[in-house]
Amino acid sequence: MKNDTLDLHTYHNLLFPYAYNILGSAEDAKDVVQEVLSKYLKIDATVKNEKGYLITSVINQAINIKNRQKKNLSGDILLPEPIATEESDIALHLKDIISYSLLILLEQLNVKERAVFILKEAFNYSHQEIAEVISETKENSRKLLSRAKSKLKTSKRPNNTLKRSESNIYLKKYIAAIQDRDVKKLELLFTEDIQIVADGGNEIKVLRNHTSGKSACIDLMFEVFKKFLQHQEVKLTEINHQPAILYFTKGKLLSCLVFSIDDNEKIYRISSIIDPKKLINITEHIN
């Protein structure tokens, strides 16, 4: 059995982004990391490369769980569980968390393609390293990455050059336009093909799961604001390295809107997370 000199906190921070990026769920990722560390502490044999062993174990455990989840999908709108990343300059492990928009796009991939893409693009693994981790050949790793990139190549990506202060300007313009019911200002902020996707989980029924087009999205957000948001407290933040708005009632987090802004600095997607289970991690972070 391993002694208790293992720095569990350090390893948790190291391992969490691997599991989260594959699973898209903070709670599931925490469970995977906890299970892997618990099993490792019970191993009698000496492991030469402790860090490599734990990373490999977490990745493969996450792949197995994601495969099971894919088979049991109900067809409902399922958005990733958001992670607060505004302190990534201090909590360095948060830098490895991939963007919210990319997490959504990765659902187009099968699990092996997703794992290879993440290891290559987010963690800069070589194909030899990837092959060793996921028990594939180096050639298969290349093929999996090629297929993944092919599936994602036409998908729009968020503008990563915007600074936090610049993103907040857009959020403030959005809030003001919604509060004033200013259609023209919202039209200037939105792309023609803007999409709004809402996830209330099993507990909350949303007005509409998926809405497309500038006019329909403006009408929806006016309705949502009037019925649910106009009396709530507002906090501007960063979720998965993207601008976001949190809505509170008497200190309780009720809603998280994540904004995807394109290279023309227009909002092309709003992801609305209302599922209380998916807001737990942000609530814990705030508290």
Longest pairwise C-alpha distance within the chain = 67
pLDDT of residue 142: 98
pLDDT of residue 183: 98
**Residue 190 β-bridge partners:** 267
The sheet carrying 242-249 orders its strands as 210-212, 190-199, 267-273, 252-261, 242-249, 233-239
Whether residue 123 is found in the same domain as residue 195: no
pLDDT of residue 74: 62
DSSP 176-211: HHHHTT-HHHHHHHEEEEEEEEEE-TTT---S-SEE
Q: Which two tokens stand for residue 83?
A: 């992670």
- Flag whether 159 is in a domain: no
**Residue 197 β-bridge partners:** 210, 271
* Cβ count within 10 A of residue 58: 25
Whether residue 121 is found in the same domain as residue 248: no
pLDDT of residue 121: 96
Which of 152, 176, 192 lies at the terminal end of a domain, its last residue? 152
The pLDDT tens digits for 86-103 are 887 667 789 999 999 999
Helix (H) or strand (E) holding 18: helix 8-23
Whether residue 179 is found in the same domain as residue 145: no
Whether residue 40 is found in the same domain as residue 126: yes
Which of 152, 175, 191 lies at the terminal end of a domain, its last residue? 152
Whether residue 68 is found in the same domain as residue 201: no
Q: Which two tokens stand for residue 227?
A: 């019925």
Contacts of 210 (CB under 8 A, 6+ apart): 77, 195, 196, 197, 198
Which of 130, 152, 174 lies at the terminal end of a domain, its last residue? 152
Whether residue 189 is found in the same domain as residue 280: yes
Whether residue 67 is found in the same domain as residue 112: yes
Whether residue 99 is found in the same domain as residue 169: no
- Flag whether 114 is in a domain: yes
Whether residue 117 is found in the same domain as residue 207: no
* Cβ count within 10 A of residue 259: 22
CATH code, domain carrying 132: 1.20.140.160
- Report d(CA 185, CA 201) in Å as an integer: 31
**Residue 253 β-bridge partners:** 248
Whether residue 142 is found in the same domain as residue 259: no
Contact 171, 234 (CB under 8 A): no
Whether residue 215 is found in the same domain as residue 264: yes
- Flag whether 157 is in a domain: no
Contact 245, 229 (CB under 8 A): no
Ranges in the chain, pLDDT < 50 = none
**22: domain range?**
8-152
The phi, psi pair for 20, rounded to 5°, reads -65, -45
- Flag whether 21 is in a domain: yes
Whether residue 191 is found in the same domain as residue 261: yes
Domains held by the chain: number: 2
